[in-house]
Amino acid sequence: MDMAFTREDLDVRERARSFARQHLWPHEITLDENGSLDEATEAGIRQGVLDYRLNAINHDPEHGGQGMTIVQQCIVNEEVGSATNGLWGRVWQPPICLKQGTPEQIAAYLVPACRGDITVSFCVTEPGAGSDAGGIRTSASLDGNHYVINGEKCFASHSDSAEANLVTTIMDGDPARPTLFLVDKGTRGFDMRRMPRFSQRSGHEHPEVDLVDVRIPATQMLGDVGEGFELTKDWFVEARLAIAARSIGMAIRASELALEWARERQQFGRAIIEFQGIGFMFAEMATEIMAGKSMIYRTAQEIDSGLDRRTAHAKASAIKYYCSEAAFRVVDRAAQVFGGRGMMCENPVERLTRDVRLERIWEGTSEIQKVIMAGQIMKRGLDPYAGWT
């Protein structure tokens, strides 16, 4: 198996790395201190995404995306993931399921989302339905040529500012018929109840939303009745690989900063990197980074080569679980190397400590990834994880 990056892959890496350092890193402290960036700065970042050809890396050129391979998408997410305060979110990747829309929906939502003209949020989680997606209670019912939606969502990231919101519902209260709808900004009854404060100061909100008699045309359904979960499967694979790659990007940056410090910091007449206790920490950090990158890029190449969807889903859970947990350990060790300075908000490692903690939770907690893996092992044995073809 040839796992070397191609010339195109290396070009993607250089563009993504340069973009992160020139357009994301310089704004980290301002965002952390103020909780937002001014319009001119946000506009500059958006233009940078376009100039570096990093917009909609997960969508086809015919829709305005970059048409990158899964390997290349992981490369981009690793590089931009190094930016603190969730600045990686400025590199937009519209939900992959939008490509399953009607021609009219693709023209109205996917194409402008790929250009960066609009944003589309994904509203899935509810107070009683997070890890248990089958617990969704937000319900849609047909009324003439419209659907009426009632329910509530939480952790509905960007739904306060997005021009469109993908909302997961169940049809007529039936959990066996999950269905997706596109709800435009400003639609009556789609109301922001509360904007909780979170540890990550990204400038983006994660609102709690009430849906009260939200009335939308039947043409706003994405896919068919009952296809809601099916349409999200590819998105979960994509999102979990992206989280894994971002996590490794965070781990690498934290390790590099800690190593630079350990070479300079003198204690007892020696650089602290020379002490075995510190050296062992870096050995552990390097091993976890190496293992995580190997998992990510091997599986990404397999997917690009036609890995079946079910196996890709099984492997994505293992990768998301391992890389997010490993990155958390790496960043924690990096903070330990810095000592008290590792707790200063001006230090990127402190901000990465907050950021990487989230990666163990969203798009399926580590515990849910283990539930998925255990189910796969019961059905199919260890081959999805231990096999090698």
Q: How far apart are CA 389 and CA 227, in angstroms?
A: 32
Return the beta strands (E) in 178-280 as ranges: 178-184, 190-194, 208-217, 221-222, 266-267, 270-271
As a whole number of angstroms, the distance between CA 100 and CA 258 comes to 45
Angstrom distance (rounded) from CA 62 to CA 94: 14
**Ramachandran sector of residue 176 (left: φ over 0; alpha: ψ -120 to 50; beta: rest):** alpha
Backbone angles phi, psi at 190, to 5 degrees: -95, 95
Which residues have C-beta within 8 Å of that of residue 287, sequence separation ≥ 6?
Answer: none
Find all residues with CB under 8 Å of 239, minimum gap 6, and list them. Answer: 363
CA distance 360 to 356: 7
Choice among 205, 227, 363, 367 that is catalytic = 363
Q: For this structure, is 363 an active site residue?
A: yes
- Catalytic residues, by residue number, are 363
